[in-house]
Structure 1
Amino acid sequence: MLLPEPRGPIGATLAAALRGSPDTAPSPLPSHTRAPASGGPETVLADEDLQLSLWTCYELSYRGFDDVDDRWESTPSFVAFRAALEAPFVRALRHHTGSVGECTVDADGVPAALTGLIEADDGPPLAAYLQRKATAEQFKEFVTHRSIYHLKEADPHSWAIPRIGGRAKAALIEIQADEYGGGRLERMHSELFRNTMRGLGLDDTYGAYVDQVPAVTLAVSNTMSLFGLHRRWTPSLLGHLAIFEMTSSLPNRRYGNGLRRLGYGADTTRFYDEHVEADAVHEQIAAHDLCGGYAHDHPESIPDILFGAACALTVDNAMANHLLETWKTGASGLRRTLTGTAA
């Protein structure tokens, strides 16, 4: 994967720096690029320049870029640059989730609090639309958006494994073992998703559609990367994963049924069908053993657990709303359509 095309002055400066040597990097990187585009926290999730720049920074901790020296990941000026982008992103997440992090429950109440967040959520009905109404082209767009995360499925949450212990660690290992197919390539969820992409005629290369997806889609990935990369955010990462698992089974059933409605076969739907069963089991493990267990060991972490859970709902709803609103007008939800033209 090569560096994506910048979407503004922050990204342009970042790309110019990353194409050079970290040995000659200015410290700090140019200061005028270390602030987000104008606007308050309500605009940050849709800020194309900031979200792509932050995604680019995080990707150096995943698979990196063929045209970037791997040493950049730990270069002080780069780390400072990334932190400057994270600050407004965290403020925006706080803004959108309101007072959820101030919730006062004890460890025994964490599973119920997570369930309460889900029940109170009034996010857009994307799964129902895909099941009943979406065209084949719209379904391809949805899968294209999801490829930003699903081609590295489970990787952000695996950063928590060495950072926790006890019942929570055992629960996380149980969930992640299933995500990685029990060590069998053909059963890895990321590999199953590649099969879905191929069945839809999409490019299953890692990162192939980064330039096509908008900021709100990158924000979904950036949220879990933020929580995963920093040990300070470990409780939020666990809350994020719990919501992922607790809200997955029914939507995935609908996605699979939507693909069957459009005439696609078992190889294409298997990714979604697998999640219907697996996530029904993971839901209980994530709420009670993972988050509940961690909260018992670290009661001071409960507000951060719930914050991470609320963030998962917030960014997923932002992406879903973007898709439904653009499809309602007959437009594409991508920055460029799958034929390569501007949307």
Structure 2
Amino acid sequence: MQSKIATFPSVEATPKSTALLPTAADYSQAEQHFIQLLETEDLDDKLAEQRVSTNEVDGAIAAAMAAAYTGEGGDVQAHRFLQRVLYRINRLKLFWYDDLRHYTNERSLYLRAVRDRIETAWQRWETEQLDTASYQEMNLKQVLSDWVAADVDPLPSADQLFIHEQVGEAGYRRLVAIASLDGLVEASQLSRTLGGVSNEIHAVLTRLLVEEYGAGRLGRKHSSYFTVMLEELGMKTEPEAYFDLVPWEVLAIINHSFLLTERKRYFLRYVGGLLYGELTVPAAFRHYQAAGERLGLSKAAMSYWDLHIKVDELHGRWMMDDVALPLMEQYSNDAWELVFGYDQQRLLSDRAGIAVVQAVRNADQVHDQ
């Protein structure tokens, strides 16, 4: 039986009726096929010899791109499928201490073409959410300073107050499960930016990474503190154990970080985004810490939140004073890109935050039924 996915052969073709859109099951089937391709020995050679087919995957990608990045772009399943495919390609840039054969296609031309195809459409769509021309008309240092002052300790949102005051155990466990995808490999993308010439800015970024990695001591690596929290909750501690629970909006942040750190031309954008991430973590994590304490978790289990509340305040100042501002001086003609990166990270984070809290609320509701 021909898959409905195959009815959408190109990204330019916009679905005319929602009845023709691929279902979640269709995307799941295509993703399983994609995983098989990832694990196929000598994939590019087999493709050249027509010994394997990518028609189902390519058709699904075309359909998903049309549904996600044209019109209102509100097809959640399409976004989810595309971000999961991107993530599965991007994770090959990190080493997971698993079967070496899993990396046989890490330089596959086909996988690179799939990544570039999705990223091009996705990033165009993301950029359209912001008025990029306006950044070039700004007093950049003043704008960035004002944004940092407002974002470092904002008034709590309704969603944050819900986490702080009301989230139940099921919801808290869902929050931790989603956060584990990044929390257990924390700062890995930052490591991709540290090769090259040494200078004061490079030294600050290196110091930031060294602190995240516990100065080479496993027990002090920030991800180890996350593992302690998972263990106390009786949850799985393997990286990616809860991958299927992660909203596409969270995957988009991770994939965005991979893109910016792999493209040195986007270095200023990455620094802007990293600045936003470091300086806003303490305010957000205070609510998570309060929820954990209210639910009776131990001090050790709360150490991940507590550590970041303490150190990321300092990291935020480092990023602003010793990285962002000096880079704005050095790259005066391109400094707007740093502000763009900050603003885009804020947009991505706000969108992901809404999705995570919705997942948390749903978990509590299901538990209470």
TM category, shorter? 0.7 to 0.9
Q: Deviations over 1:99-135 (max 9, x none)?
A: 3773445674474164277389999544332221110
User: How far did 1:18 drift?
Assistant: 1.3
User: How far did 1:263 drift?
Assistant: 0.7
- Is 2:24 the partner of 1:24? no
Rounded Cα–Cα distance in structure 1 between residues aligned with 2:155 and 2:32: 37
Identity over aligned pairs, percent? 18
> Amino acid of the residue matched to residue 277 of structure 1?
K
> Amino acid of the residue matched to residue 57 of structure 1?
I
Task: Decide which of 210, 235, 245 is 1:202's aligned counterpart.
Answer: 235
User: How far did 1:48 drift?
Assistant: 1.4
Moved more, 262-271 or 221-230: 221-230
- Is 2:67 the partner of 1:39? yes
Match runs of 1:114-125 below 5 Å: 114-115=147-148, 118=151, 125=158
> Amino acid of the residue matched to residue 278 of structure 2?
E
Rounded Cα–Cα distance in structure 1 between residues aligned with 2:333 and 2:46: 40
User: How far did 1:9 drift?
Assistant: 6.3
Give the unaligned 5+ runs of structure 1.
339-343
Task: Decide which of 181, 191, 194 is 1:148's aligned counterpart.
Answer: 181
Contact 1:101–1:304 (8 Å) recurs in 2: no
Q: Tell me the residue number matched to 2:21.
A: none
Moved more, 190-199 or 36-45: 36-45
Match runs of 1:1-343 below 5 Å: 7-8=27-28, 11-22=31-42, 23-26=44-47, 30=55, 31-35=58-62, 36-41=64-69, 43=73, 46=76, 47-63=79-95, 66=99, 69-99=102-132, 102-105=135-138, 108-109=141-142, 111-112=144-145, 114-115=147-148, 118=151, 125-163=158-196, 165-327=198-360, 331-332=362-363
> Amino acid of the residue matched to residue 251 of structure 1?
A
Closer, same or farther: CA 114–263 of 1 in aligned 2, 3 Å: same
Rounded Cα–Cα distance in structure 1 between residues aligned with 2:159 and 2:245: 20
User: How far did 1:298 drift?
Assistant: 2.0
> Amino acid of the residue matched to residue 85 of structure 1?
I
Rounded Cα–Cα distance in structure 1 between residues aligned with 2:364 and 2:331: 41
Contact 2:186–2:212 (8 Å) recurs in 1: yes
Closer, same or farther: CA 296–106 of 1 in aligned 2, 3 Å: farther
Contact 1:37–1:49 (8 Å) recurs in 2: no
TM-score of the pair, normalised by structure 1: 0.84
Q: Secondary structure at the match of 1:15?
A: helix
Contact 1:239–1:307 (8 Å) recurs in 2: yes
> Amino acid of the residue matched to residue 249 of structure 1?
P
Q: Tell me the residue number matched to 1:341.
A: none
> Amino acid of the residue matched to residue 87 of structure 1?
T
Greater relative contact order, per chain length (Cα 8 Å cut-off, separation 6+) = 1
Closer, same or farther: CA 314–10 of 1 in aligned 2, 3 Å: farther
Q: Secondary structure at the match of 1:96?
A: coil
Aligned residue pairs total 330
> Amino acid of the residue matched to residue 286 of structure 1?
M
Closer, same or farther: CA 199–177 of 1 in aligned 2, 3 Å: same
> Amino acid of the residue matched to residue 315 of structure 2?
H
TM-score of the pair, normalised by structure 2: 0.79
Rounded Cα–Cα distance in structure 2 between residues aligned with 1:29 and 1:232: 31
Give the unaligned 5+ runs of structure 2.
1-24
Contact 1:249–1:276 (8 Å) recurs in 2: yes
Rounded Cα–Cα distance in structure 2 between residues aligned with 1:157 and 1:261: 33
> Amino acid of the residue matched to residue 260 of structure 1?
E
Q: Deviations over 1:71-106 (max 9, x none)?
A: 312122221111011112212321333337734456
> Amino acid of the residue matched to residue 345 of structure 2?
A
Rounded Cα–Cα distance in structure 2 between residues aligned with 1:229 and 1:9: 30
Moved more, 125-134 or 34-43: 34-43
Rounded Cα–Cα distance in structure 2 between residues aligned with 1:203 and 1:14: 26
Give the root-mean-square deviation of aligned CA atoms. Answer: 3.2
Rounded Cα–Cα distance in structure 2 between residues aligned with 1:249 and 1:76: 41
Higher gyration radius (CA):
2
Moved more, 294-303 or 134-143: 294-303
Rounded Cα–Cα distance in structure 2 between residues aligned with 1:218 and 1:75: 22
